[in-house]
Amino acid sequence: MFKTSLLLTLVILSNALANVAMKLTSQLDGSLLNKLLQWQLWLIFVCFGVSFLAFIELLKYIPLNIATSFIAVQYAVIIFVSWFFFNEKITMGQLAGIALIIIGIAIVGYFNSNS
């Protein structure tokens, strides 16, 4: 259980960091070729690579449909990360969506544990 939770957390956080790096890369001046030389772009590749490999490892322990359902929390994480790092506003619609995601994950988790 601990390994599953650790892998799930790694997938979510590395994906969130990759999204932050994408936003940072989008704010760089210069051509696409110039951006290829910047650390922000390479951080995207590293983070998505870590997320990808952790997800593959996670699938050894839980079914794909459950893993994908739990990883949906990354959408909520990215909303809060965007607010924290980039001062992006959080709307009531986004908060309602986050609540629905959490409720959905709880339902999936509950019915998975009872099967």
Residue 71 and residue 55 in contact, taking contact as beta carbons nearer than 8 Å: yes
**CA nearest neighbour of 86 among 23, 9, 8, 26:** 23
Helix (H, G, I), strand (E, B) or coil at 72: coil
**pLDDT score recorded for residue 23:** 94
Q: How many CB atoms lie within 10 A of CB 70?
A: 19
**pLDDT score recorded for residue 32:** 80
Local confidence pLDDT in tens for the 115 residues of the chain: 899 999 999 999 999 999 999 999 989 888 888 888 889 899 999 999 999 999 999 999 999 988 998 899 999 999 999 999 999 999 999 999 999 999 998 898 888 776 5
**pLDDT score recorded for residue 115:** 59
**CA nearest neighbour of 41 among 57, 58, 23:** 23
